[in-house]
Amino acid sequence: MPHIGNFGFYASPERKLLFDLNDFDESTIGSWDWDVRRLLVSILLAGEQLGIDANQNKEIMRAAVETYQQILCECFDDHSAMERYYFSTEVENFLKSEADDKPLPKLWRKILSSASQRDSERVVKKFTTIDSHGHLVFKENAPRTVHVSPKRFKEISAHLVKYDQTVSPDVTVLLSQFHISDIVRHSVGVGSFGTRCYLVLLTAIDWRHLVLQIKEALQTRRFQGFDVTTPYSQNGPDNGERIITCQQVLQRTSDPLLGFYHNEDTNRSYYVRQFWDMKESMNLSKMDQDDFETYAKICALLLARGHAQSPTAAIVRGYVGKKKKLANSLVDWAVAYSQQVYEDYDRFLQALDTDQLAKEVSHDS
């Protein structure tokens, strides 16, 4: 269920810069319109934050829906299942289709330059130091970055052996050339606040380094409290497997180091991926209206291509068609629902004022 902030840059195995969906914590099998509705609400809210006029904001949302309709129809009218499977999300292709011989906007040039420099070597320079024994270790930066206890180090190391079994054989061979040098608990974005997230420093026999990120995989909020079975796991539903399966289905190309493991002792699931590796996101607050509309349409395009991989997507294509009635209906819904978002946020602020959240967190822990 993506919003406009769930898209970003990352590297392909061929070291090409890609732009695609990049956040799958809430992904699961569901209705196509959940995704479209959430995308539209996020466009509306982001547009308001940018100061875009309400009517112009509606036009941007309509353009996003029409892009979704157009691309979904093209996927089935002009392309076979195999052609849809091999769609490219290389950034160069997007820029060629959007630029029309115009100079690349400064915002895009800056973000492309930044993304291309975010790799394991950059991570090592930013997050590590040499300790008193001459070993490369993560920098301690409490409370954001804290070294794990020897017990937790041993536990995570053992579980990474299980992670090795969830990646392809070539990746297993690659990882066999590394050993674990250090592990820290490392806090990340607001959406992952309160979850268990770690960075693992791996060192190869040539003393080159690789940094893996381990993130706790929570049950999707839509189904919290319900016993939901999914086809993701032969041994029962596992949230780590759910997340990486959805990522591999919806992304045209995924991180080859993507895998998962389950801690039976704590009944917690985790997924593992390469840290950074050209990962970057667009800064929405720096966009002008034209940039924002282009970005919204690209996100809608990628969502349609992701949906086109579904075995039932042809039915959706028949339903959405190309009529403007769908866009008008979904835009009206998004405008109405945005009020619910503001009401929810007001309740959140009230809970902060009364220390209600602090009491609930204390009770849960």
As a whole number of angstroms, the distance between CA 162 and CA 38 comes to 35
pTM of this structure = 0.82
Cβ atoms 202, 179 nearer than 8 A: yes
Q: What is the pLDDT of residue 106?
A: 67
Q: Where are the alpha helices (DSSP H) in 78-145?
A: 81-85, 91-99, 106-116, 120-127
pLDDT digits (tens, 9 = 90+) for 174-189: 999 999 999 999 987 6
Q: How much of the chain exceeds pLDDT 90, in percent?
A: 41
Question: Which pLDDT does position 58 carry in this prediction?
Answer: 97
The answer to whether the peptide bond before residue 143 is cis (omega within 30 degrees of 0) is: yes
Residue 341's pLDDT band (cuts 50, 70, 90):
very high
pLDDT at 67 over 90: yes
Please give the angle made by the CA atoms of 44, 280 and 33, to the nearest 5 degrees.
Answer: 35
What gap in Å lies between CA 17 and CA 12, rounded to an integer? 6
List Cα–Cα distances, 13 to 7, 18, 45, 76, 88, in angstroms: 19, 10, 35, 28, 13
Domain residue extents for the chain: 7-117+284-364, 120-274
**Which DSSP string do the residues of 30-75 spell out, in sequence order?**
--HHHHHHHHHHHHHHHHHHTT--HHHHHHHHHHHHHHHHHHHHHH
* Per-residue pLDDT at 69 exceeds 80: yes
Percent of the chain, pLDDT > 70?
83
Q: CA geometry: angle at 23 spanning 61 and 204, to 5°?
A: 150
- Tokens for 1? 């269920």
Burial class (CB in 10 A: 0-12, 13-18, 19+), 60: buried
User: Cα 82–169–115 angle (5° rounding)?
Assistant: 70
Residue-wise pLDDT for 229-250, tens only, equals 555 444 445 889 988 888 888 8
